């Protein structure tokens, strides 16, 4: 009796994961894996971080070799042998070496290739590379980039581009990032992209947004951008997207997304009989929209490969899908997200509400407290959590994973405030950011009390349309002297404001802000009780305003006549002297 034969096409993460799980599921089947390169399983997500080393240490990124798969799992591995044809009807494949194999089940795990945008002159410019594969990494080292190139340009500011830029900067290189869209890391909401941009610039990375690299003068190593500017650079790294390697199955009529990613069901089956797909060549279902989406992440590759391998071997596993959980390190900061943000929700015509706030990762009394900037999104009617974005120095990963779990479980904002989360001062304040998100999300709507975003407040200040609005900084005097205040504001500490509220015009719009927003909320409630009807609290407070690098007036200590003066070493954007 012939053994059941499972053929796996492709290595990296999905292929070996499928092979190992197939063997654990069925000890008696025959498993053959074909990989076109010499590396069966590599941690390609580690490539940007490997660039922090000026010497080739890429072998550390090899996770599993062919010998281990054979010795431990009895899997036959054929390296440097690619599959060039698949006949789903006859259930056979042909390799580039002319060999023909039949299969009972096939797992397609060919991954994706780095996309190369059209750039005039790139074909004659030899000093460039992708940073997607071990082959790319070895090319960079072989060409002596770290010894020869002083200025390296990164095309693309997605996850890979930002990771590459940071690690190149750590080696002492001059780094320029070019991004076609308005902001870096454009999959996040603008406020978070602006915060990330500030960190990148503060660490010496040059950012060129709203720019397309149109032409390269290879002889002079000059890069020409769509805005008419140009600059010289020694080397170019391209990180602008992926193209699924699915041509073999598309030629056989496999169902797919517009980008070529194969459509699979929860069992990881394609539309072709007895053929499964997993990894960056496959799409999976978005658990929020229930539509298929493209999520090229190592986590999904491993899970999808595991399910495909198990089912090819006779099991009945499922992989339900994903919902955009992502995280990236930006020097000492972290930016993360899960589910949908405002742009995505609008594009899907989902009725939602959101809250943006600032809190601390640990209590303010504990050593070195840092801020967390949090925005959560929830369905308007059900209050079910459907998205979150967080930026900060510490504790971002913990909170985004809790909120990701909340989305999977279908929790509401009310559920968030009732979670029993671990607490001790070194790890969290008593009111954790996730709990606080629930508290704020559960507040009743009040047409007399609203929040105003830092971006919108900045726009009306720059436009000079703040006239007729009282902009009040309700922090204590010491806080204002330490960090400055928003241009155009006057300082009225909360307790003093409550005593002098009758001096304000109740028909005038009042915008209040404190350091993070909590005192601002208290002030809005108090002013409402005193008859004010047009009250706004700055979302995220002064901390969010500062993180977005908007205009700040630096205040010196009061002089003998009782007035405060702007620090002459800091540019005053409107020339006013602000009293505190």
CA torsion sign, 458 to 464 to 469 to 473? positive
* Confidence at residue 558, expressed as pLDDT on a 0 to 100 scale: 56
Beta strand 326-330 with 333-339 is antiparallel
Q: Specify if 421 maps to a domain.
A: yes
Residues with Cβ within 8 Å of residue 568, at least 6 apart in sequence: none
Helix or strand holding residue 193 (H, E): helix 190-202
* Domain CATH code at residue 93: 3.50.50.60
The reply to whether 273 and 362 lie within a common domain is no
Q: Is 117 helix (H, G, I), strand (E, B) or coil?
A: coil
* Confidence at residue 454, expressed as pLDDT on a 0 to 100 scale: 97
The reply to whether 337 and 437 lie within a common domain is yes
CA proximity to 433, closest of 385, 387, 396, 386: 396
Q: Specify if 519 maps to a domain.
A: yes
Query: In the chain, how many domains are there?
Result: 4
pTM (2 d.p.): 0.92
The reply to whether 425 and 500 lie within a common domain is no
* Confidence at residue 89, expressed as pLDDT on a 0 to 100 scale: 97
* Confidence at residue 272, expressed as pLDDT on a 0 to 100 scale: 98
- Among 441, 472, 506, the domain boundary falls at 441
Q: Specify if 572 maps to a domain.
A: no
The reply to whether 70 and 134 lie within a common domain is no
Q: Within its chain, how far is the Cα of 70 from the centroid? A: 37
Q: Are 157 and 184 in contact (CB under 8 A)?
A: yes
* Confidence at residue 528, expressed as pLDDT on a 0 to 100 scale: 92
* Domain CATH code at residue 453: 3.40.250.10
* Confidence at residue 573, expressed as pLDDT on a 0 to 100 scale: 30
DSSP, res 319: -
Ramachandran class of 462: left when φ > 0, alpha when ψ lies in -120 to 50, beta otherwise: alpha
The reply to whether 96 and 129 lie within a common domain is no
The reply to whether 132 and 210 lie within a common domain is yes
What is the residue range of 140's domain?
122-240
Q: Specify if 317 maps to a domain.
A: no
- Among 441, 460, 475, the domain boundary falls at 441
* Confidence at residue 443, expressed as pLDDT on a 0 to 100 scale: 86
* Confidence at residue 507, expressed as pLDDT on a 0 to 100 scale: 87
The reply to whether 421 and 368 lie within a common domain is yes
Q: Specify if 319 maps to a domain.
A: no
The reply to whether 102 and 140 lie within a common domain is no
Q: Output the tens digit of pLDDT for each of the chain's 580 residues.
A: 588 999 999 998 999 999 999 999 999 999 999 999 998 888 899 999 999 988 888 888 988 889 999 999 999 999 999 999 999 999 999 999 999 999 999 999 999 999 999 999 999 999 999 999 999 999 999 999 999 999 999 999 999 999 999 999 999 999 999 999 999 999 999 999 999 999 999 999 999 999 999 999 999 999 999 999 999 999 999 999 999 999 999 999 999 999 999 999 999 999 999 999 999 999 999 999 999 999 999 999 999 999 999 999 999 999 999 999 999 999 999 999 999 999 999 999 999 999 999 999 999 999 999 999 999 999 999 999 999 999 999 999 999 999 999 999 999 999 999 999 999 999 999 999 999 999 999 987 776 678 999 999 999 999 999 888 999 999 999 999 999 999 999 999 999 999 988 888 888 999 999 999 999 999 999 999 999 999 999 999 999 999 999 999 988 765 444 444 444 333 333 222 222 2
The reply to whether 288 and 336 lie within a common domain is no
Residues with Cβ within 8 Å of residue 379, at least 6 apart in sequence: 350, 351, 352, 353, 386
Q: Specify if 570 maps to a domain.
A: no
Q: What is the pLDDT of residues 284-304, one digit of tens each?
A: 999 999 999 999 999 999 999
CA proximity to 522, closest of 503, 534, 535, 509: 535
Q: Are 276 and 105 in contact (CB under 8 A)?
A: yes
Q: Specify if 74 maps to a domain.
A: yes
CA proximity to 538, closest of 551, 523, 552: 523
The reply to whether 233 and 156 lie within a common domain is yes
Q: What is the pLDDT of residues 509-563, one digit of tens each?
A: 999 999 999 999 999 999 999 999 999 999 999 999 999 999 999 887 654 444 4
Secondary structure (H, E, C), 278-318: CCCCEEEEECCCCCEECCCCHHHHHHHHHHHHHHHCCCCCC
**How many residues in the chain?**
580
CA proximity to 459, closest of 190, 183, 188: 190
CA proximity to 174, closest of 234, 237, 240: 234
Q: Specify if 434 maps to a domain.
A: yes
Cα(321)–Cα(316) distance, integer angstroms:
16
The reply to whether 215 and 199 lie within a common domain is yes
The reply to whether 494 and 546 lie within a common domain is yes
CA proximity to 12, closest of 30, 31, 32, 38: 38
């Amino acid at each position: 009796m012939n053994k059941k034969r499972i053929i796996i096409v492709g290595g990296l993460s999905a292929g070996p994961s499928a092979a190992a799980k197939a063997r654990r599921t069925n000890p008696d089947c025959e498993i053959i894996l074909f990989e076109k390169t010499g590396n069966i399983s590599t941690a390609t997500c580690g490539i940007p971080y490997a660039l922090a080393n000026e010497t080739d240490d890429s072998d550390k990124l090899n996770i599993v070799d062919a010998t281990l798969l054979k010795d431990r799992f009895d899997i036959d591995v054929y390296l440097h042998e690619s599959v060039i044809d698949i006949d789903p009807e006859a259930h056979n494949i042909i390799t580039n070496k002319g060999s023909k194999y039949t299969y009972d089940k096939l797992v397609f795990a060919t991954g994706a290739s780095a996309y190369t945008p059209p750039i005039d002159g790139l074909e004659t410019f030899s000093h460039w590379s992708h940073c997607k594969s071990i082959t790319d990494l070895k090319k960079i080292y072989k060409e002596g980039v770290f010894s020869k190139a002083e200025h390296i340009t990164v095309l693309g500011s997605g996850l890979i581009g930002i990771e590459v830029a940071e690690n190149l900067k750590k080696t002492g290189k001059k780094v320029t990032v070019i991004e076609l869209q308005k902001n870096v890391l454009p999959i996040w909401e603008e406020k978070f992209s602006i915060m990330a941009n500030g960190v990148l610039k503060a660490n010496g990375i040059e950012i060129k947004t709203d720019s397309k690299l149109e032409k390269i003068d290879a002889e002079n190593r000059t890069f020409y951008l769509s805005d008419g500017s140009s600059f010289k650079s020694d080397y170019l790294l391209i990180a602008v997207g992926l193209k699924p390697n699915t041509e073999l199955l598309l030629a056989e009529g496999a169902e797919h997304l517009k980008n070529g990613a194969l459509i699979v069901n929860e069992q990881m089956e394609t539309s072709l009989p007895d053929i499964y797909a997993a990894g960056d060549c496959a799409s999976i279902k978005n658990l929020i929209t229930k539509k298929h989406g493209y999520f090229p992440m190592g986590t999904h590759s491993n899970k999808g490969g595991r399910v495909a391998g198990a089912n090819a071997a006779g099991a009945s596993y499922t992989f339900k899908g994903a919902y955009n959980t992502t995280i990236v390190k930006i020097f000492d900061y972290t930016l993360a997200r899960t589910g949908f943000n405002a742009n995505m929700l609008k594009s899907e015509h989902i009725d939602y509400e959101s809250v943006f706030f600032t809190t601390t990762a640990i209590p303010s009394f504990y050593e070195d407290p840092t801020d967390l900037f949090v925005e959560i999104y929830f369905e308007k009617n059900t209050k079910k959590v459907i998205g979150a974005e967080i930026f900060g120095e510490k504790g971002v990963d913990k909170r985004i994973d809790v909120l990701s779990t909340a989305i999977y479980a279908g929790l509401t904002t009310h559920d968030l405030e009732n979670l029993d989360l671990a607490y001790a001062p070194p790890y969290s304040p008593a009111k954790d950011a996730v709990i606080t998100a629930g508290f704020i999300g559960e507040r009743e709507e009040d047409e007399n009390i609203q929040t105003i975003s830092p971006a919108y407040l900045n726009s009306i200040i720059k436009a000079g349309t703040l006239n007729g609005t009282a902009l009040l900084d309700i922090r204590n005097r010491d806080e204002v002297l330490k960090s400055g205040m928003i241009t155009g504001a006057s300082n009225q500490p909360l307790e003093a404001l409550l005593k002098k509220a009758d001096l304000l015009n109740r028909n005038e719009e009042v915008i209040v802000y404190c350091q993070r927003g909590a005192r601002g909320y208290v002030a809005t409630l108090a002013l409402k009780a005193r008859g004010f009807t047009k009250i706004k609290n700055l979302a995220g407070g002064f901390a969010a305003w500062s993180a977005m690098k908007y205009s700040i007036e630096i205040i010196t200590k009061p002089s003998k006549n009782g007035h405060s003066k702007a620090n002459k070493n800091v540019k005053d954007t409107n020339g006013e002297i602000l009293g505190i």
